[in-house]
A and B are shown apart, each in its own frame.
Chain A
Amino acid sequence: MNNIINDIRETARQLLADGKVDVVIGYEKGSLPLKATPCFVRSAQEVDRLIWDETCENNLASFVANTPGKKAIIAKGCDSRSLVVLIQENQLLRDDVYIIGVSCPGVVNKRKIEAEIGEILEATIAEGTISVKGMEGSKEYSFADVKDATCQTCRYPNPVIEDIHMGVTIEVSQSTPFADVIEMENKPDSERQAYFNQQMSKCIRCYACRNACPMCYCPECFVDCNSPKWLTGGVNRAENLMFQAGRVLHLAGRCVDCGACARACPQDVDIRAMNRKSAKDVLVMYHHEAGISETIKPALNEFSADDPEAFLVKE
């Protein structure tokens, strides 16, 4: 890890010193333990702020489109897929961004640890073990046990586009894609409905998921729209579901399943369950995965004459 940090800093220093980029978007140590925070480095003297470890959980692609000038970005596998989608959607010029690719071993799910030992006071990460001191005791965790749910099923830990690669690439674990969605689909309707009811009653509609999402860049989100007024502003289960379902439908064929929404959620709502269902549908019906290649058209931007239409009424 330390070598990668040094490489990142050296690359950033070179880029800034040569004037190739105006800003390097990366991670720095956050004010809370086990949490890195996004940082914008604008001069070569500042590059030592940059870090890279298992706490770098934000999707930095969310900041790229509204950062003016030429920029370099530190991109994990999922971040790079977001960048591909943004480039395809003309939110970003490929020439304006220099992608420093890093293969991502996954990020830590802080919440899992906090559930066991209370608020985290101190933490150190070394060689796959995380030693944490919390309000209610200390414990050592192996990284694999406290990996975020998104990262446990990650199939693209290595960047799909990059200008330079830091460190080694990671072997992709061969698991059945969307096993969790299939398990959910096989449950009876009432059970699924109960599950989503329970999840949606937790949501407080703070829109942290929307803000963390690199694909949610609409200048005016449908939830803020007054005419037509899609949502009344009341926080109840039904409206929360309408917001989340609306968001999922806007992200259909675009969501790269980086899990930034779920990690940003203060209420621990299973936001990914719906997004992954839609991603699975897109893969099964239209054989498309978002952000894998710049040349493949997004699923909802094209059509074919023999698309499935099992949803039609029988008359």
Chain B
Amino acid sequence: MIMGECQVKVYQPDTSAFKPKIAAFLCNWCSYAGADLAGVGRIQYPATIRTIRVPCSGRINPLYILKAMANGADGVLISGCHPGDCHYISGNYVARRKFALIQSLLKHVGLEDDRVSYSWVSAAEGGRFAEVVKGVTERVTALGPNKGVFKVDDGGAAGE
């Protein structure tokens, strides 16, 4: 028992440093495969993202972003195929118009610019995916924890 406690203390990581939780909505055909490639290629990137696979970036409902923020995510990363490469031909073109409006509106109501990030990552860009996650993590870490523009006190968990 005493040995166990000692060992726990020895390997205890520094928990005081803020490690953000980032909800990452990745499109099945490009960005998810890109993340996979980063993994297969053993490319290191911060373990801050929680991946949610969606069929297409066009599938991302604006409410997903708001709900993630409401449930206490410190950041949101949205990634899809490069324009022109969509598996469903035009899904990301349609999404692009939505994202531009969402980003502008969220900034207008006072959400920090870097909380929600958007990127196009193809299935061949494993290295770039790692770079994107690194960059997003850095910026969200600099912002600190979710300041609660959309955050609900009980995390939205009550009654679920």
Q: 9 A-B Cβ contacts within 8 A?
A: A196-B110, A228-B67, A242-B150, A249-B98, A277-B108, A278-B104, A300-B94, A312-B118, A315-B128
**Which of A189, A277, A314 is the one whose CB lies under 8 Å from B105?**
A277
Bound CA–CA A238/B93 (angstroms): 30
A interface list, Cβ under 8 A from B: 184-185, 189-190, 192-194, 196-197, 222, 228-230, 232-234, 236, 238-239, 241-242, 245-246, 248-249, 252-253, 274, 277-278, 281-282, 285-286, 299-300, 303-305, 307-315
Residues of B within 8 A of A308 (CB): 100
- State whether B135 touches A313 (Cβ < 8 A): yes
In the complex, B144 has a CB within 8 A of chain A: no
Enumerate chain B residues within 8 angstroms of A245, measured Cβ to Cβ.
Answer: 66, 105-106, 109, 150
* Count of residues in B whose CB is under 8 Å from the partner chain: 47
Contact A311 B109, beta carbon cutoff 8 Å: no
In the bound complex, residues from chain B placing their C-beta under 8 Å from that of A242 are: 66-67, 70, 150, 152
**Is there a chain A Cβ closer than 8 Å to B107's Cβ?**
yes
Whether B36 sits at the interface, judged by CB under 8 Å, is no
Contact among A192, A229, A303 with B97 in the assembled complex (CB-CB below 8 Å): A303
A238-B100 contact in complex given A232-B159, A313-B132, C-beta closer than 8 Å? no
Contact at B93–A303, with CB atoms within 8 Å? yes
The residue in B97, B100, B156 that gathers the most chain A C-beta atoms within 10 A of its C-beta is B97
A303 and B96 within 8 A (CB)? yes
A235 to B156 alpha-carbon distance, docked (Å):
12
For residue B108, which residue of chain A has the nearest CB? A277
Give the contacting residue for B90; candidates A236, A303, A311; CB below 8 A. Answer: A303
Contact partner, A281, options B104, B120, B159, Cβ 8 Å: B104
